[in-house]
Amino acid sequence: MKKINDYHNKKILVLGLAKSGVSAALLLHELGAYVTVNDKKPFSENPEAQGLLEKGIKVICGGHPEDLLDEGFELIVKNPGIPYTNPLIQDALNRELPIITEVELAYRISEADFVAITGTNGKTTTTTLIYEILKEGSKQPLIAGNIGTVASDVVQNATADNNIVIELSSFQLMGIQKFRPKIAIIINLYEAHLDYHGTREEYVKAKKNIFRNQQSSDYFIINYDQEECREIAKEATAQVIPFSTKDYLQNGASLKNGVIYFKGEAVISYDKVVLPGKHNLENILAAISAAKIVGVGNNAIERVLTNFHGVKHRVQFVKELNGRLIYNDSKATNILATKVALQAFSKPTILLAGGLDRGNEFDELLPALKNVKALITFGETKEKLKKLGQMAGIESVLTVDNVEEAVPLAYSLSNEGDVILLSPACASWDQYKSFEIRGDIFIQAVHKLE
Number of H helices, E strands in the chain: 16, 20
pLDDT digits (tens, 9 = 90+) for 119-178: 988 899 999 999 999 999 999 999 998 777 899 999 999 999 999 999 999 999 999 999
Residues 246 and 176 in one domain: yes
Beta-bridge partners for 277: none
Virtual CA dihedral for 183, 184, 188, 189, nearest 10 degrees? -170
Find how far residue 102's CA is from the centre of its chain. Answer: 17
Using CA atoms, how far residue 171 sits from 122, 203, 208, in Å, is 16, 9, 12
The answer to whether position 48 is within a domain reads yes
- Here the CATH number for the domain that contains residue 352 is 3.90.190.20
pLDDT at residue 282, rounded to an integer = 95
Residues 295 and 342 in one domain: no
Question: In percent, how much of the chain has pLDDT > 70?
Answer: 100
pLDDT digits (tens, 9 = 90+) for 187-235: 999 877 777 788 889 999 999 999 999 999 999 999 999 999 999 999 9
pLDDT digits (tens, 9 = 90+) for 317-326: 999 999 999 9
Residues 85 and 53 in one domain: yes
Model confidence band, residue 276 (pLDDT cutoffs 50, 70, 90): confident
Report the half-sphere exposure of 161 (CA within 13 A, side-chain side). Answer: 4
Is 149 one of the annotated binding-site residues? no
- Here the CATH number for the domain that contains residue 250 is 3.40.1190.10
Number of domains in the chain: 3
Is 121 one of the annotated binding-site residues? yes
- Here the CATH number for the domain that contains residue 76 is 3.40.50.720
- Mean pLDDT of the 54-77 span: 94
Q: Starting at the edge strand that comes first in sequence, how are the strands of the sheet with 99-100 ordered?
A: 58-61, 34-39, 11-15, 75-78, 99-100
Is 377 one of the annotated binding-site residues? no
pLDDT at residue 344, rounded to an integer = 86
Containing domain of residue 224, as a range? Answer: 108-305
Domain finish residue from 59, 77, 100: 100
Beta-bridge partners for 78: 15
Model confidence band, residue 312 (pLDDT cutoffs 50, 70, 90): confident
pLDDT at residue 121, rounded to an integer = 84
Q: How far apart are CA 230 and CA 281, in angstroms?
A: 18
CA angle 141, 146, 150 (to 5 degrees): 70
Residues 82 and 112 in one domain: no
Question: Would the pLDDT of 366 be above 90?
Answer: yes
Q: How far apart are CA 129 and CA 127, in angstroms?
A: 5
Concatenated DSSP letters for 341-384? HHHT--S-EEEEEE----S---GGGGGGGTTEEEEEEESTTHHH
Mean pLDDT of the chain: 95
- Mean pLDDT of the 344-371 span: 94
Among the listed residues 282, 235, 348, 248, the one whose alpha carbon sits nearest the alpha carbon of residue 117 = 282
The answer to whether position 42 is within a domain reads yes
Is 125 one of the annotated binding-site residues? yes
Is 122 one of the annotated binding-site residues? yes
Residues 93 and 130 in one domain: no
- Residues near 434 by beta carbon (within 8 Å), at least 6 away in sequence: 428
Residues 184 and 296 in one domain: yes
Residues 178 and 37 in one domain: no
AA identity, residue 247: D
